[in-house]
Amino acid sequence: MRTIDDLDVAGRKVLVRADLNVPLQDGRITDDGRIRASLPTIETLLARGAKVIVCAHLGRPKGEVRPEFSLAPVAGRLGELLGVRVVFADDVVGASAHAAVGGLGDGDVALLENLRFEPGETSKDDAERGAFADRLAALADVYVGDGFGAVHRKHASVYDVPERLPHAAGDLIATEVSVLEKLTERVERPYAVVLGGSKVSDKLGVIDNLLGKADRILIGGGMVFTFLKAQGHEVGKSLLEEDQLDTVREYLRRAEETGVEFVLPVDVVAATAFAADADHDVVAADAIPADRLGLDIGPESGKLFAARLAGAKTVFWNGPMGVFEMEPYAHGTRAVAQGLIDSGAFTVVGGGDSAAAVRQLGFDEAAFSHISTGGGASLEYLEGKTLPGLQALED
């Protein structure tokens, strides 16, 4: 896979596929982590005299122009962080985009409107997607793929445009791939994996693949209640995927057979309702009241998880331990994050809600070895899947 060091970019129009899919609230960016992660590649290209055209998506507008998904606020924040004016095109491949690109000088940067306003970006029809890719590629001389959070999607800007232009991987993708290789091909053991989030079904593939690779797997978050139910425990009104019980029982059987240690919570925070002000208590994981739902792992589980991370050399974490957005249910996620830091291991936070939790709970991002920008992409890589966006950059 070539990198931007292999490209001649001076005076050339470089289309950078970035991941700027940031959370917005009332038109304001609440977490600019993905924008900041995109800076090194853009800054390098600007310093080398490129005319940089940034393209990205935001949310799921499904091929329609929806103002609430406009990248306009992102253009402002990107300009602040770069310390330069970012020209914003209010369309993707139309008159505004051509005017913005046509006005760029060496070392200037433009941002196109949300790629997903165009139906061709996400189309499953190769011809429709290809036609849009033709128009997007026509804006530039060179392509740089740097949106790791989208490389598991066979979308025009990720998969088809690199076929049409000289291309290379940006710094972010190169770093992400190097880190993921340390989790799959160059693993230092013991290797511990912490999985959380709401649903077991979201993690089926990664659990299946890691059963042959990890030394221990720690389970928290909403998905844990399917594991507890599979062991025969009452889970009350907690989130439960009945259709995954047999699969989970098989995972537990295989883990015992292969010597992989599954670590489940010993206590949980059980509340009367899904609300920060609901009555809640710490109860044993095998004694959740029938009229309550679990919203976090308990304090003893936090200590247990930290202890099981303490001897690890490599740790991958994806998914919060509870509803960390509500303070009463943030303690488990906080304990796991601190456990990663204290372990002294090579630690990877797998993007998405886990990365958001690290920032929201006030941790120093530099305390972790790597914070991924792509939760879904990281998981699919760990499942052993071929990622279209990486495949497109390899040839």
Would the annotation count 34 as a binding residue? yes
Q: Quick check: is 352 catalytic?
A: yes
Q: Is 376 a catalytic residue?
A: yes
46 is in an annotated binding site: no
21 annotated to bind ligand: yes
- Among 182, 199, 254, 303, the one annotated catalytic: 199
From 63, 313, 376, 385, active-site residue: 376
Q: Is 302 annotated to bind ligand? A: no
User: Does residue 199 have an active-site annotation?
Assistant: yes
Q: Which of 12, 13, 17, 34 is catalytic?
A: 34
Three-state secondary-structure class, residue 109: strand
Residue 344 catalytic? no
Of these residues, 352, 374, 375, 389, which one is catalytic? 352
> Do the beta carbons of residue 264 and residue 228 sit within 8 Å?
yes
Burial 187-201 (b: 16+ CB within 10 A, else e): beebbbbbbbbbebe
48 is in an annotated binding site: no
Residue 152 annotated in ligand binding: no
Residue 153 is assigned to a ligand binding site: yes
Query: What are the E-state strand segments in 311-363?
Result: 314-318, 346-349
User: Is residue 379 part of an annotated ligand binding site?
Assistant: no
Is 58 assigned to a binding site?
yes
Report the distance separating Cα 368 and Cα 237, nearest Å.
35
Residue 259 labeled ligand binder: no
Residues contacting residue 77 through CB under 8 Å, at least 6 positions apart: 29, 32, 35
Residue 57 annotated as binding site: yes
The secondary structure of residue 141, as a DSSP letter, is S
* 20 marked among binding-site residues: yes
Cα–Cα dist 329/323, whole Å: 5
Q: Kindly tell me the sign of the dihedral angle through the C-alpha atoms of 67, 27, 96, 62.
A: negative
332 annotated binding-site participant? no
286 marked as part of a ligand binding site: no
176 Cβ neighbours under 8 A, 6+ residues apart: 148, 372, 373, 374, 377, 378
Orientation angle between helical segments 375-382 and 352-360, nearest 10 degrees: 130
Place of tokens 């290797």: 191
Buried b (16+ CB within 10 A) or exposed e, 274-294: eeeebebeebebbebeeebbb
Asked if the bond preceding 388 is cis, omega within 30° of 0, the reply is: no
The three-point CA angle 197-256-268 to 5° equals: 35
Per the annotation, does 364 bind a ligand? no
The set of catalytic residues is 34, 199, 352, 376
Return binding residues for substrate.
19-21, 34, 57-60, 116, 153
Q: Which residues are annotated as a binding site for ATP?
A: 203, 294, 325, 351-354
List binding-site positions.
19-21, 34, 57-60, 116, 153, 203, 294, 325, 351-354
